[in-house]
Structure 1
Amino acid sequence: MKDIPVHQLKKRSALGLEIWHYSIDEMRMEESIMEAHRDDHYIFFVVESGSSAMMIDFIEVSFSANSLYYVLPGQVHHGISKKHAGGWFLAVDAMLVPPDYRKVFEGQLAVQKPYTLNEGQMKQCRGLLVLLQQRFDEHESSTFNTSIVLSLLQSFIGIAAGCYAESNCHSLKVSRPVELSQQFKALLIENYVTIKSPSAYAEMLNVSQTYLNEALKKTTGFSVSYWIQNEIMLEAKRLLYYGGKNVKQIAHTLGYEDHAYFSRLFKKSEGVTPLSFRAEYRK
């Protein structure tokens, strides 16, 4: 059986971000429908005109003008409509999405629905994204420009999280594996520093470790152990990128007494040492 491909953002962007604007005419030039795949990052869409549709984890989601949407890391998705939309596309490394915002995005019990933006919200998003793209295109040419790019990105993600936090889009029926996966993710975000055992999370959820593992693999394509390590590495990258703690301090912050073990774990996961990661992202 062919594995579902996983697209990795770090292969395309060292900054952890991609952004572009596309028109309906530009989309019509791309007649091929994207094959089903997962991403290891968030995707955000702001649709300005036209209409289209995607399949997200076996749920058809339709887009129309003035809508906001996101795809979570791990969700299987592909295009299913020959209609075309124009608007904005952002790919964002999960480490750049603050935990409080992630709780909103990942806390949906059902497959998330598009959020309809009112005139004021659409104007704010459009203005912010225009400036974000301009600064992103120039981020290596000006002092502090990378910091400005990330600040603008945080503003957009905050607006998106605020929209979904205020919405009540929970009408779709959810399966037990999906519900269990969301409960696990909520527990993980709260407890990953002190609890790193898959069996402990299974016990907290009153299910067997085998069943929890099967549920997560079915809904996300990844195991319990993968998500635990992923959460730890995301926070490690945040601390390395934004903070001033040394590797030993970061290891202790994340619940590791042996910082050398933590460094080995980080390198195995990310392909570089913690210090090399910090040096690369702080150029």
Structure 2
Amino acid sequence: MPEKSKSIPLNTFPLNIGSGIIISKFTVADLEFDKIREAHRDDYHIFFLLEQGNGIFEIDFRRFEINSQSITYIQPYQVHRGLSLEEGLFTVLLISSESLNPEYLSLLKEIAPTYPLQLDAVNFSTATKMGNLSAMIFERQNEKLHNTILKDICNSLVGFIISQFLLESHKAENSSRSEVISKNFKLLLDQHFIHTKSPSEFASKMNISTVYLNECVKRATGQTVSYHIHQRIILEAKRLLFHSSKSVKEIATELGYDDYPYFSRLFTKITGMTALTFRSKNLE
């Protein structure tokens, strides 16, 4: 097994791409697949439209088989890697948060994490045509208003993709008050879980009582606020244990725990095994 890096590799969006968008069509032969096999994060959004072929991707410890006529969305900072890709023809859209329509960015945060979505022939054909047009615009770098036009067309594609995920999950537009509170809490949790760890602190950020926050989250998800806080922390700990060579003590510190024994007990309580056992059990 190759030696792991000290930290999980992070790909940042190329500074020379002023539009904050890259979109192109590829085949398997075009890829440097060895790089894709290495677990990594990206600080941008990835949309993967698979037209032909099939493959296996791993996203945050879950393996997914993807087939033709599917769309995969990977949110910023998710740890992922490609395990296999056969006879693939696909379109890939990379887009920074700054280049996304604010409404779409908010919706993506609400629906994430998502899993590969299989579309019917008509809807996938629509997405593919939008992707092809976007890729054509991307190549025409010298056009006047190029960046503006590219953002408009690519955001249209993103909006269409989001609509398919929303249809699949049967999300109603008129969400209940509990669902709205729960969504807002999860957005805050993803931003602040390292430094904010108690339900009362999150309730304070949302200007509501701790009791009301717990009631809403429990009603919407079936789980308490503390449960979600712990699950988010442990997910990040698992990422670092599996994909980096940092010690458990270093990971505890990075996640905001100066009390290393407490962190160790929390990990064991949530996962049913010690952090070191998790690391050794998942070594390939």
> TM-score band, normalised by the shorter chain?
0.5 to 0.7
**1:135 partnered with 2:133:** no
Matches within 5 A, 1:100-179: 100-108=103-111, 111-139=113-141, 141-168=142-169
1:91 alignment partner, SS class = strand
Residue 64 (structure 2) aligned to one of 61, 66, 73: 61
Q: Is the contact between residue 16 and residue 96 of structure 1 (CA under 8 Å) also seen in structure 2? A: yes
Any runs of at least 4 consecutive aligned residues in structure 1 with deviations exceeding 3 A, and if so which?
24-27, 29-33, 181-185, 197-200, 202-208, 210-224
Is 1:19 the equivalent of 2:38? no
Matches within 5 A, 1:1-283: 2-11=6-15, 13-27=17-31, 30=33, 33-81=36-84, 83-108=86-111, 111-139=113-141, 141-168=142-169, 184-187=185-188, 198=196, 200-201=201-202, 207=226, 214-215=233-234, 217-218=236-237
AA matched with 1:131: L
Relative distance call for 1:47 and 1:130 in structure 2 (3 A) is: same
Per-residue CA deviation, residues 157-176 of structure 1 (Å, 9 max, x unaligned), is 10011001111299xxxxxx
* Distance in 2 between residues matched to 1:182 and 1:38, nearest whole Å: 24
Residues 219-265 of structure 1: CA distance to partner in whole angstroms, max 9, x if unpaired?
Answer: 787869xxxxxxxxxxxxxxxxxxxxxxxxxxxxxxxxxxxxxxxxx
CA distance in 2, matches of 1:77, 1:146: 29
Code of the residue aligned with 2:19 in structure 1: it is L
TM-score (ref. length: structure 2): 0.60
Paired residue type of 1:56: I
Q: Report the structure number with the largest CA radius of gyration.
A: 2
Cα separation, partners in 2 of 1:135 and 1:154, compared to 1, 3 Å: same
Matched residue count: 206
Amino acid at match of 2:139: D
Consecutive unaligned residues of structure 1, counting only runs of 5 or more, are 171-180, 225-283
Q: What is aligned with 1:260?
A: none
Residues 1:13 and 1:145: Cα distance change in structure 2 (over 3 Å): closer
Following superposition, the deviation at residue 30 of structure 1 comes to: 4.2
RMSD of aligned residue pairs (Cα, Å): 3.7
Displacement after TM superposition at 1:119 (Å): 2.0
Q: Which runs of 5 or more structure 2 residues have no equivalent in the other structure?
A: 172-181, 205-209, 214-224, 241-253, 257-284
**C-alpha distance in 2, partners of 1:62/1:12?**
34
| Alpha-carbon contact 2:41-2:79 (below 8 Å) kept | yes
